[in-house]
Structure formats: C-alpha cells, structure tokens
Amino acid sequence: MKSVSRLKVQVLSGILMLLISHLCFAQNAIEALRMWPSPDNTRVVLDLTQEPEYSYFTLSNPERLVIDLANTKGKIDLAKLAKSSNLVKKIRYSTAKDPSSVRVVLELKRKLNTEIFALPPTAPYKNRLVIDLSDQSERTQQVVMSSESSTRDRDIIIAIDAGHGGEDPGSVGRAGTYEKNITLSVSKRLAKLIDAEPGLRAVLIRTGDYYISPNARPDIARKNKADLFVSIHADAFTTPQPKGASVWVLSMGRANSVLGRWMERTERHSELLGGAAEVIQDTASERYLAQALLDMSMDHSLTTSYDISKMVISELKQVTSLHKKLPQAASLAVLTSPDIPSILVEVGFISNPNEEKNLNWNQHRQKLASSVFSAIKQHFRKLPPDGTLWANNARSEKRTHKVRSGESLSLLAQRYKVRISAIKEANNMRNDTVRIGQVLTIPST
C-alpha cells in the first residue's frame, strides 16, 4: 500500500511539474510600449510575445485607465517612455491581481473615451494590445474656412492625404523603408508648393506619424471644404520586379454602392448638399430630389477625378517610369467621397530595390511632389471653382477660343458659363453660325 501511495505522489508531482513548466513556457511578456499622439487622439501600443489575455477598468479623481494582463510579465521600464501626448500624463506599473499577471496604469489628463483591442502579428510588428484614447469634448479640428470667406475670392483647397501612419506602416521595402514615411515626406513637399501659390491652400490630412482610419480621411477633407482630395501612397508586390507610378480613381461599382449608403444616412444630407439642404426636408417625397443632386455631384466628382488623374500621369512620366499609363479604378476607402473629386497617387513600388532607393532620395521626392503640383495647377487654371480667386481672375482676363469640329455657339456658352448673346456681342456676330478655325473672344459674363 505504501508503494502505491508513493507512486501516486510521484505521478501527481510529475503532473504538477509539467503544469508549472507549461505555464512558464506559455507566459506572455511585454516587449515594448509605443505611443502615437495625434492632434485628435493618442494611441498606445503594447508589443507582446503572445496573444494578450486582458481586462481593464477606469478610476476617477484622478482619471486613470487600469489594464490587467493575465499570465504576463513586464520586461520594459515604463518610466523611460517619452511624454509626448497631451492626453496622457504618465504610464506606470501597479500591484497586479496575482504574481503571474502585470497591471499597467495610464494616468490621464482628463476623462477620455477609450477603446482597447488586440491585433495579431503583422510585419514588422508582433502581437499587440492597442489602447485608443480620444477627447470628443475638446476635439482638435483642422482650420475650417468661415462661410464669409468661402463666398468670395476664396482659396482653392487641396486636401493631401499621406497614406498609412502610426501603428500602420504600410508597405515595407527590402531595405526596411516604411511607406508611411515616404508618403508623409512627399505630402509635405506637395503642401509647401501649393501654399506658395497665391489662390491655393493645402490641408494635410495627417501632419505626423499617427494613424487615421481610411474612412475618416475624406471627412477631414470635407470639414475643410476641400475642392480636391489627393492621397499619396507607395505600391508594393510580392516580387521585386514591378515598378513605376500609377494613379487611381474610384470604380463606378463602388461609387454607386457608396452613394446608396450615404443616402441611407440622412444626417449626411446637409454636409453633401450645402445650402440646398436647407430647403430639402427628410421625407420620402423629398429624397428623390436629394438623390438627383447627389447623382449630379457624384458624376462631377468622378469625371473631374479622371481628368486630373490623366494630367498627373502626364506629369509623372517625365520624372519616373509608369506602372499604368491610364488611370485605374478600384474600391479604395479613401476615394469614397461622392462630393469631392478624389485621386490616389502611387509614387512607385517600394518593393522594387531601385525604386525604394529613389524614394529615399530627397531630390526624387521633390520631383514627384512637383509633378503632382503641376497637374493640379493645370487643372484649376483651366477650370477654377466658382467663388475662388482664380475664377475671379479668369473672368477679368481676356479669353479666346479657337473653334474646333463639332463645336457650336451653344456648346461654347455652356462650357464657359456665359450667355450666347454675350459671345455674339463680344464678336459682333449677327447669327449663331461659327466656322472651324474661327477665333472667338469669350466675355467674362
């Protein structure tokens, strides 16, 4: 009997040792902590060796967010973390619930909205626990033009979106180049060129290394009353051979479905329709009018986007090779604004070693920015939006038009937004007949 009892003890001891060994092997660990502050929020990221098992709660007076990580140990010194957020005072450890857990405390400057979620490993990151903090009551907004300044001789607003950012590095080149850094550099150079041109003004969607969701980026452009949305990206592929720049617009299939979703969200009517929304009531009978106005807005946006894309391609081919010689259409979230012409510019393949080297060259980035700027300038010189300084200047200048095959007086009047009688008066015409090759003076009104 004693031998049997001894055997049982040995078996149980062995099982216990295996369990202890397994627990030690499976124990998670915090390997790094990173903070991504932005104008509107702060993202804190814990890098872990394994998928986190966590719980959290908040405390007040003072405001704190407490996160418990089960079966985890802290390997890093939180005191060394740079204090760069205007929402977080300090991040520290506290007494955990049990010896096998770790407790992380975020001391907050005020009461904040909190969202916590885990992310699986994606290069170059391992398992992550993401803490998003935002202050909706004091949300920082981009500078939005007042209604008074937007009605007369206003600037043409170009929203420039640097792709990816923060926790999202985008594509990674073979030499370790992050797409998010390339896109921000080119975007800032483009913004500088635009701001130096009287009558144009740039709005950077992302001004630093932080994350903004693709769906939120067009919203920022809309709040700033943008006339054009340009998203800058760098392409990538699984093999190093593909190279060259390309320009993308929204596909019609996606555009139609997006329009349907916008119509379902009736609270968006006022944002999309501007002054017209004041007389459109949200009833079943009035929705047909709203649908018609949105259809017209979408048609204009898609047509303008395609025209600008062709101009950008024409300019890009002078400074780099092209991957596609015509604008491409795709279902891309950042291009889904039905009221703002939107394009996405892939400045090259970061997965191609030669292009990665070029994209890290300041002079090449400047050439890319200059080519996109040149195309934007050409488009708005030709077709400046009503109420802008450029539109006013165009009206004051003497314009001429050489008649081409298929053109009529009524077509020219529609194109230049003037009356037929005004064109006839400016050219001493007695009838509506025009000849191919005839040079007409186009009046301002």
For 292-306, the pLDDT digits (tens) are 555 656 677 888 899
Mean pLDDT of 114-131: 85
Can you point out the beta strands (E) in 95-192? 102-108, 113-119, 127-134, 156-162
Which pTM value belongs to this model?
A: 0.70
With cut-offs at 50, 70 and 90, classify the pLDDT of residue 236.
Answer: confident
CA–CA gap between residue 129 and residue 117 (Å, rounded): 6
Q: Which residues contact 138 (CB under 8 A, 6 or more apart)?
A: none
**Cβ atoms of 330 and 342 closer than 8 Å:** no
Q: Residue 283: how many CB atoms within 10 A of its CB? A: 7
Omega before residue 62 within 30° of 0, cis: yes
Are residues 286 and 273 in contact, defined by beta-carbon separation less than 8 angstroms? no
Residue 244 has pLDDT above 60, yes or no: yes
As a whole number of angstroms, the distance between CA 412 and CA 426 comes to 13
> With 80 as the cut, is the pLDDT of residue 25 above it?
no
User: 267: pLDDT confidence band, cut at 50, 70 and 90?
Assistant: very low
Among 152-156, 224-228, 378-382, 437-441, name the one with the lowest average pLDDT.
Answer: 152-156
What pLDDT sits at residue 391?
A: 85
Q: Is residue 393 left, alpha or beta, with left meaning phi > 0 and alpha meaning psi from -120 to 50?
A: alpha
Report d(CA 307, CA 326) in Å as an integer. 11
What's residue 162's pLDDT? 96
The C-alpha atoms of residue 90 and residue 288 are separated, in whole angstroms, by 54
Give the C-alpha separation, 148 to 212, whole Å.
Answer: 30
Q: Token pair for residue 211?
A: 């994350």
Query: What is the predicted pLDDT for the residue at 21?
Result: 46
- The token duo for 193 is 């060129």
The CA-based angle 206-210-212, given to 5 degrees, is 65
pLDDT at 135 over 90: no
Query: Using only C-alpha atoms, what is the Rg of the chain?
Result: 29
Mean pLDDT computed over 320-348 = 86
